[in-house]
Amino acid sequence: MTIRALKPQLSSNRGRVTRWRAVAALIACVWTGLAFGAEEFPTRTMRMVIPFPAGGPADFVGRLYSQHLTDLWGQQVVIDNRSGASGIIGTDAAVRSNPDGYTLLFGAGSSLTIIPILMKNLPYDVFRDLSLIGLVANAPHVLAVRVSLPAKSVKELVAMAKQQPGKYTFATSGTGGVVHMAGELFKYHAGIDILHVPFKGGAPATVALLAGEVDMMVNDLSAVLVHVKSGKLLALAASHTRRLAPLPNTPTFSELGMPGIVSSTWWAIAVPVKTPAAVQARIVTAHNKVLARPGYIERLSDLAMEPLVLTPEQTAAFIKREIDMWQKVVTATNVRID
């Protein structure tokens, strides 16, 4: 091949090299911009979507968390209560938000684990559409009964319920919620038939129990502790892996021969799945700092709750275990949302 014939080929190769260099430079600029943005993140007000109404436990814990996050970042974290449809509306709104890290989802165990089991064709999938940051707080459950109930232990309660199936009742904050499923979990492992009485919220359910309109409930310790300590309710067992500090004399279900009864109300932080990894890392770091703050830990303790520090991977594994557990309960008890 002559030198003259080689010239077009050399020119073509130089053109390709030039184009590749331009592409490489563009990619480098993009990565530099992302890295710089992540280092500076956040630079403006953030939004945290709570899929439940103001004034409830999720809203209270969410605002506590956002206050500490605001303090750490020096940027306001604004609460956006998007309630409705058992948490589906707010969760979907967070999933569809701009994946830039400036919208956080304050997700609840019920909307992330139980509702996806009970309701098909949801507009979101937890593992497909969300990146999990970590758990915010854990509120262990206890089995509490009205003080006028003859049974003063789980053994006596189970014996009474087996003697008269369908006579005794348990209150919940609504069908399909974690408190409802915790009651069904107790029914399943105890092998008893007790009647579910749903209320519109945890407060009305607790009031009904205090008034003796229902016989029992499995609810957050934070919801019943003050009434147990005042003698208006009796705590028979804790749905936890260990005895609860505020109720040291109340045995766990495991101690009573029912190790499968472990339940709690919990909340987790998540972001849209396409949020840049560098930004997610910044959020994870800040999240872990919040959970380690003495003021945050002490306030949760006052509410009979506890922080649960997990990595994003551990959080995903935790949620998968919860889904597996509740799936078994739903299948065994045939729970449905009408």
Cα 311 from chain centre: 14
Say how far apart CA 104 and CA 91 lie, in whole Å.
Answer: 10
pLDDT, one tens digit per residue, over 138-185 is 999 999 999 999 999 999 999 999 999 999 999 998 888 899 999 999
In this prediction, residue 38 carries a pLDDT of 65
Under a CB-based contact definition with an 8 Å cutoff, are residues 38 and 278 in contact? Answer: yes
122 backbone φψ class: left, alpha, beta (φ>0; ψ -120 to 50): beta
Domains 46-139+265-333 and 140-239 share a fold: yes
Q: How many residues does the structure list for the chain?
A: 338
Say how far apart CA 174 and CA 35 lie, in whole Å.
Answer: 45
> Rounded to the nearest 10 degrees, what angle do helices 57-73 and 277-291 cross at?
110
Under a CB-based contact definition with an 8 Å cutoff, are residues 125 and 320 in contact? Answer: no
Position 86 confidence tier, pLDDT thresholds 50, 70, 90: confident
Tokens linked to 52: 């439940």
| Domain ranges across the chain | 46-139+265-333, 140-239
pLDDT, one tens digit per residue, over 284-323 is 999 999 999 999 999 999 988 999 899 999 999 999 999 9
pTM to 2 decimals?
0.84
pLDDT, one tens digit per residue, over 249-286 is 999 999 999 999 999 999 999 999 999 999 999 999 99
Q: Which CATH architecture has domain 140-239?
A: 3-Layer(aba) Sandwich (3.40)
* Burial of 294: CB neighbours in 10 Å, binned 0-12, 13-18, 19+: exposed
Pick from 329, 154, 125, 295: which is nearest to 236 by CA? 154
Class (C level, CATH) for 46-139+265-333 = alpha beta
Say how far apart CA 312 and CA 101 lie, in whole Å.
Answer: 15
Q: What separation in angstroms does the CA of 307 have from each of 288, 289, 315?
A: 10, 12, 13
Under a CB-based contact definition with an 8 Å cutoff, are residues 144 and 234 in contact? Answer: yes
How would DSSP label each residue in 13-58? HHHHHHHHHHHHHHHHHHHHHHHHHHHH---S-EEEEESS-TTSHH
